Structure 1
Amino acid sequence: MASAAGVSGGPNKQSVGDDLEGFAVAVVREEGAWKVSALKKTALYDLGDAERQLLALRATGAVFGLLDVDDEFFIILRPAPSGAQLLISDATAGIDYDIAADTLEAMGVEVPDLDPDELDDVDPWEEGDLGILADLGLPDAVMSVIVGDTDLYADEQVGMIAARLGFADELSKVLDALGH
């Protein structure tokens, strides 16, 4: 099976033709105001593509991407000159999703060595920088509570992040326009 992002994976990996649910948005904070815009759907398949789309915004303020992949997990991507900061809400997603495996690889974390058939019996855990949005008003302790609430779907967790930082209305408008 072909892999979407060049990561060779097991038989459960998604292929380029798979239609992932979810959304990818860019969030920009400039002059005290939030702006949320949709990224191309390709951002859900390729971490490098998501980063290129964010860098193309050329914003002077804080920029980060929120990727909700299949409502299973989310990724926060914050481009920086020294390399992107990353947070993935569920490291076990690296077993089934190329973009999750790419995210773990970019952080220098190995994809968990778990049997795909036993994933339902394993509690998910996050990997990356819980303080990724701390300078914008979301402390790592609060982010830890959000990603630790495994009863929520990824879009609900992203909604909590947006509400906490103050761009929930802007996110809602973009998601409505995307039909999500």
Structure 2
Amino acid sequence: MLPGEGRWPYGVHMPEQEPPVHGFAVAVVREDNRWRCSTLDGDALSELDAAITQLRGLRSTGAVFGLLAVDDEFFIVLRPVPGGVSLLLSDAAAALDYDIAADVLDLLRVDPPDEEDEELWPEGDLAVLADLGMPKHELQVIVDEVDLYPDEQLQMIAQRIGFGEEFTRLLDTLQA
């Protein structure tokens, strides 16, 4: 077998590697009436379990949730809750192309859409951030803004809830 055909010499199978996922994974914490944003480790962007584990590791008496923007295609909001995690996937069809989106649907116990579906729709808990000032209907409006990139949608959420400056500052450092 020739190099680059998926096998190492001597017949050892080389595992297929997923292309790298671009975007960002941010942890948002509210403690003592102050918001703090920090990046999650790189595997949080491609492995849902890693993102959940990292968020659970952030001890806080206030709110803790994660915002993931994946490949300029979709976003995920995840919030650890007692006994599980509350999830929102901005585009259910992303599960056809991205493992992390498929994992969200698995946790939600929702079947992925058919490949023929052309309509975009969110899946999960649109009220995931309602207690923080983002009502379900307002989050629906942001998700429905399909002309915006996920980072722009997440910035709208951050502004509405009240951590827009911290979020923008963190994104600026990631792009520098």
- Normalised to the residue count of structure 2, the TM-score between the two structures is 0.88
Instruction: Tell me whether 1:93 sits opposite 2:94 in the alignment.
Output: yes
- Give the letter for the 1:110 counterpart: D
- Give the letter for the 1:167 counterpart: F
Q: Percent identity?
A: 54
Separation of aligned partners in 1, 2:18 and 2:104: 20
CA separation of 1:38 and 1:113: change in aligned 2, threshold 3 A = same
**1:129 is matched with which residue?**
125
Shift of 1:123: 2.3
List aligned pairs for 1:1-180, cutoff 5 A.
16-115=17-116, 122-179=118-175
Runs of 4+ in 1 over 6 A off after TM superposition: none
- Range 90-99 or range 145-154, more displaced: 145-154
Separation of aligned partners in 2, 1:131 and 1:17: 32
Separation of aligned partners in 2, 1:98 and 1:32: 35
User: How many residues are matched?
Assistant: 161
Separation of aligned partners in 2, 1:81 and 1:130: 18
Shift of 1:161: 0.3
Separation of aligned partners in 2, 1:143 and 1:16: 35
SS in structure 2 at match of 1:76 = strand
Separation of aligned partners in 2, 1:88 and 1:150: 13
**Structure ranking higher on relative contact order (CA contacts 8 Å, 6+ apart):** 1
**1:6 is matched with which residue?**
none
Larger Rg: 2
- Give the letter for the 1:111 counterpart: P
Separation of aligned partners in 2, 1:128 and 1:89: 9
- Give the letter for the 2:106 counterpart: E
Separation of aligned partners in 1, 2:101 and 2:140: 19
Separation of aligned partners in 2, 1:130 and 1:84: 13
Separation of aligned partners in 2, 1:41 and 1:173: 19
Runs of 5+ consecutive residues of structure 1 not aligned to the other structure: 1-14
Separation of aligned partners in 2, 1:165 and 1:26: 14
SS in structure 1 at match of 2:84 = coil
